[in-house]
């Protein structure tokens, strides 16, 4: 019989809790569910009111890994869902919106990474986030990503935009900023322009095109995740990697001081102490009063 756990008044089935998902560390499904439940106060605000794409890995990162965008079969009726626009040629999709702790625990039982758009479900035509995904091409590492992040921080600040860094939870770095008043298309144009500018300013370090042959030893500044249809790993999500790495918010001091990749690798067990020490470093993104307009297009 499937065990049922009551979470804030909702009955949530939890299955195969003893399954080892990360053989390298012995991290189990029970530990994954516990991580999400105990990190909920920080994670939920970044999920709330956003359609979620699930990157599922029910048998661990070494098993089948697949995206689920539509509402999964068997989703409880109390889980919030919303219609989400797709391309003009397609009908809207219906996707999950993780609004509360029971919904988070239910989704955790699916074994998933959480990925969200840069807009809220009630205003899909207006981006409220700007994102850069800094992806190093070997032998470059997150150390080089940090150099690029510091340049982008200053460049964004010149336009009145404050950026906040987090680890990708794999090998790179993400920069996020709260913005207002622009469409996803305009936000993408602005992000691309800054990526091109970064390549011109740091030609030995940065590439703004995805072409694989251009990327060895450089940092690909991926601006494309600002497109309306694209999603990015949510702050505090676990990643489907060899070990239970987390996409963890970091301080700018940590970015500036990074001299080796291991300095910016955080696993599930590291997050509770960091939250006690720093609180949610991404909390300013949730304050709409701190959102900045993009500069006028030239």
Both 90 and 129 in one domain: the answer is: no
Which of 87-96, 121-130, 161-170, 257-266 has the lowest average pLDDT? Answer: 87-96
Both 172 and 31 in one domain: the answer is: no
| CA neighbor of 54 nearest in space, from 122, 110, 128 | 110
Residue 187 neighbours by CB under 8 Å, 6+ apart: 118, 127, 130, 179, 226, 294
**Cβ(171)–Cβ(261) under 8 Å?**
yes
Is the pLDDT at 51 greater than 70, yes or no?
yes
Both 60 and 144 in one domain: the answer is: no
pLDDT confidence of residue 1: 59
Q: For the chain, first and last CA: distance in Å?
A: 63
Both 91 and 209 in one domain: the answer is: no
Both 47 and 152 in one domain: the answer is: no
Which of 82-86, 234-238, 261-265 has the lowest average pLDDT? Answer: 82-86
Task: Please give the tally of structural domains in the chain.
Answer: 2
How far apart (Å, rounded) are the C-alpha atoms in residues 104 and 14?
12
How far apart (Å, rounded) are the C-alpha atoms in residues 143 and 150?
11
pLDDT confidence of residue 212: 81
**CATH code: domain of residue 159:** 3.30.70.3300
Q: Is residue 93 situated within a structural domain?
A: yes
Q: Is residue 253 situated within a structural domain?
A: no
Share of the chain above pLDDT 70, in %: 98
The stretch 100-123 carries a mean pLDDT of: 97
Both 99 and 130 in one domain: the answer is: no
Residue 203 neighbours by CB under 8 Å, 6+ apart: none
Is the pLDDT at 210 greater than 90, yes or no?
no
Containing structural domain, residue 196: 124-229
Is the pLDDT at 88 greater than 70, yes or no?
no
pLDDT confidence of residue 130: 98
Both 158 and 50 in one domain: the answer is: no
Is the pLDDT at 89 greater than 70, yes or no?
no
pLDDT confidence of residue 298: 61
Q: Is residue 295 situated within a structural domain?
A: no
Q: Average pLDDT, whole number, for the chain?
A: 95
Both 182 and 277 in one domain: the answer is: no
The stretch 50-54 carries a mean pLDDT of: 97
How confident is residue 91, by pLDDT bands cut at 50, 70 and 90? confident
Q: Is residue 45 situated within a structural domain?
A: yes
Is the pLDDT at 107 greater than 80, yes or no?
yes
pLDDT confidence of residue 87: 66
Both 36 and 137 in one domain: the answer is: no
Q: Is residue 181 situated within a structural domain?
A: yes
Q: Is residue 293 situated within a structural domain?
A: no
Q: Is residue 296 situated within a structural domain?
A: no
Burial 221-252 (b: 16+ CB within 10 A, else e): bbbebbbbebbbbbbbbbbbbeebbbbbbbee
Both 222 and 236 in one domain: the answer is: no
The stretch 231-235 carries a mean pLDDT of: 97
Both 93 and 34 in one domain: the answer is: yes
Both 140 and 112 in one domain: the answer is: no
What is the tens place of the pLDDT at every residue in 8-49?
Answer: 999 999 999 999 999 999 999 999 999 999 999 999 999 999
Q: Is residue 166 situated within a structural domain?
A: yes
In degrees, rounded to 5, the angle at the alpha carbon of residue 48 between the alpha carbons of residues 44 and 53 is 95
């Amino acid at each position: 019989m499937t065990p049922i756990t009551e979470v804030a008044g909702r009955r949530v089935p939890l299955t195969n809790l003893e399954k080892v998902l990360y053989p390298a560390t012995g991290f189990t499904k029970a530990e994954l569910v516990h991580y999400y439940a105990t990190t909920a106060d920080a994670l939920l605000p970044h999920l709330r009111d956003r359609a979620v794409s699930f990157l599922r890995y029910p048998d661990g990162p070494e098993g089948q890994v697949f995206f689920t965008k539509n509402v999964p079969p068997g989703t409880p009726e109390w889980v919030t869902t919303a219609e989400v626009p797709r391309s003009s040629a397609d009908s809207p999709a219906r996707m999950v919106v993780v609004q509360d702790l029971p919904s988070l625990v239910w989704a955790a039982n699916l074994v998933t990474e959480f990925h969200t758009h840069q807009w809220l479900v009630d205003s899909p035509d207006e981006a409220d986030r700007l994102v850069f995904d800094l992806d190093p091409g070997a032998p470059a590492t997150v150390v080089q990503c940090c150099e690029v992040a510091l340049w982008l921080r200053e460049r964004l600040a010149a336009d009145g935009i404050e950026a906040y860094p987090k680890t990708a939870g794999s090998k790179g770095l993400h920069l996020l900023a709260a913005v207002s008043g622009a469409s996803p298309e305009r936000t993408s144009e602005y992000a691309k322009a800054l990526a091109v500018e970064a390549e011109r300013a740091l030609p030995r370090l940065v590439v703004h095109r995805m072409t694989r042959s251009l990327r060895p030893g450089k940092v690909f500044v991926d601006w494309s995740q600002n497109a309306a249809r694209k999603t990015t790993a949510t702050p505090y999500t676990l990643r489907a990697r060899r070990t239970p790495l987390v996409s963890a918010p970091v301080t700018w001091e940590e970015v500036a001081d990074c001299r080796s990749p291991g300095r910016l690798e955080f696993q599930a067990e590291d997050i509770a102490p960091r939250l006690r020490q720093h609180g949610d470093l991404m909390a300013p993104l949730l304050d709409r009063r701190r959102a900045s307009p993009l500069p006028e297009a030239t």
